[in-house]
Amino acid sequence: MKRALAFATLALLFHSAASHAQLKRIAAGYSAISATQIGFYIAKDAKIFEKYGLNVDPVYVAGGSRMAQAIIAGEFPLALAGGNIVNVNLSGGDIVIIGGVVNVPSFYLFVQSSIKRNEDLKGKALGITRYGASTDVSLRAYLKKYGLEPDRDVKILQMGGQPEIVAGMQAGVVQGGILTSPADFRAKKAGFVMLANFAKEGIDYPTTSLVSTRSTIKKDRETVKRFLMAYSEAVDRLFRDKELGIRILGKWTRTQDREPLESSYEYATNFVERPPRLPFKATENIVASMAETDPRAKDHKAEEFMDPSIYNELEKSGFFKSLGR
């Protein structure tokens, strides 16, 4: 009996080792310490990537523009990226959207309590992650909507990541900033107030997308497909298992305070796409807006900046509907 048990245990160990050896190791980028990236965190920590044959090494790159540069440089084949993928492609970059993470501006504008109205922003400085990132583009669109000229009426300063924006607000370097959760909770605790919820401002923007390159999809389509499947299952787990979501959010955002974690979980389930639908409308708006000032954008369509083939394949096969069953 003991001998049989020993053989069974040994066999199990060999199976485990073999399974691990069969995992394909890749690096994948994520661009924010934010609840909007929770699907990626769950896929990693709940070993869903491993279920689909991937050993994923997360790489943090603050800001969408820097992320785009890293992808183009070949630092990793897949990423969750913000920023203007249209502009990157028009500048010669080989990046395409394969799925949507958040297809609206999931940002809040938090400011000093002395700022009561949009008019009060004149002469002030606001913090973003990086120039060209989704925080930057969304803020500029918001300011223009209310008759304020970016850089002239309101100074825009790049700070790095969300924690750096809050730190800059507390230090008085900027009088407000574009925040996501849980940074918004920290700002609120520090006495700052919300001036705007960008999701309610009628601004369509692909805040965060799952991206790859055309060359990667061509040479290693199976890996890209497995990544999208793992991410999609992780998002489904987020909506079905609140405690798992909160626990993993706490690990990645380095907090065990239940109140901000509850807030972050609600934020994530309000904004994260399930399944990761492609942001056609938001991308169409970007192309149209760019065409007004950039002749390179004229006569281009949203489809040119996406590769919907894998998403469509999974949808047609019934994969998304099968999740959670």
pLDDT at residue 17, as a whole number: 44
Q: What is the pTM of this model?
A: 0.76
Q: Which of 36, 30, 22, 1 is nearest to 265 (CA)?
A: 36
pLDDT tier, 281 (very low <50, low <70, confident <90, very high otherwise): confident
Contact 126, 178 (CB under 8 A): yes
Cis peptide before 206 (omega within 30 of 0): no
Give the residue extent of every domain in the chain.
2-104+206-322, 108-200
Torsion (CA) 80, 85, 91, 92 in degrees, nearest 10: 60
pLDDT top residue among 307 and 83? 307
Can you tell me which residue has the tokens 């107030």?
A: 193
The larger pLDDT score, comparing residue 316 to residue 180, is at 316
Q: Given a cut of 70, is residue 21 above it in pLDDT?
A: no
Q: Do domains 2-104+206-322 and 108-200 have the same CATH topology?
A: yes
Classified by CATH at the fold level, domain 2-104+206-322 comes out as D-Maltodextrin-Binding Protein; domain 2 (3.40.190)
- Tell me whether residue 298 is exposed, middle or buried, using C-beta atoms within 10 angstroms of its C-beta: 0 to 12, 13 to 18, 19 or more: exposed
May I ask the CATH class of domain 108-200? alpha beta
Lowest mean pLDDT among 63-67, 254-258, 283-287, 306-310: 63-67
pLDDT at 181 (0 to 100): 83
What is the reported pLDDT for 2?
42
The structure tokens listed for 111 are 């400011």
Confidence of residue 5 (pLDDT cuts 50, 70, 90): very low
CB 153 within 8 A of CB 121: yes
Residue 13's pLDDT band (boundaries 50, 70, 90)?
A: very low
Residue with tokens 């109205």: 117
Task: List CB contacts of 19: < 8 A, sequence separation 6 or more.
Answer: none
CA dihedral of residues 296, 298, 301, 306 (deg, nearest 10): 10
Tell me the Ramachandran region of residue 254: left when phi exceeds 0, alpha when psi lies from -120 to 50, beta otherwise: left
pLDDT tens readout for residues 222-245? 999 999 999 999 999 999 999 999
Residue position matching structure tokens 């305070």:
257
H/E stretch holding 125? strand 125-128
State yes or no: pLDDT of 265 exceeds 80.
Answer: yes
Could you give phi then psi for residue 54, rounded to 5 degrees?
Answer: -120, 140
Neighbours of 113 (CB within 10 A): 8
Least confident of 145-149, 167-171, 189-193, 300-304: 300-304
Which pLDDT belongs to residue 33? 84
Angle at 96 between CA 288 and CA 79, to 5 degrees: 120
Decide the pairing of beta strands 176-179 and 208-212: unpaired
* Tens digit of each residue's pLDDT (9 = 90 or more) over 26-60: 999 998 888 889 999 999 999 999 999 999 999 99
Please give the average per-residue pLDDT across 262-284, as a whole number.
91
DSSP secondary structure letters along 140-204: HHHHHHTT--BTTTBEEEE-SSHHHHHHHHHHTS-SEEEE-TTHHHHHHHTT-EEEEEGGGTT--
Q: What residues does 209 pair with on adjacent strands?
A: 81, 100
Which of the four pLDDT bands, split at 50, 70 and 90, describes residue 10? very low
Extract the tokens encoding 322. Answer: 């099968």
Q: Which of 208, 294, 212 is nearest to 35 (CA)?
A: 208
Q: List the one residue out of 266, 285, 280, 290 whose CA is nearest residue 312.
A: 280
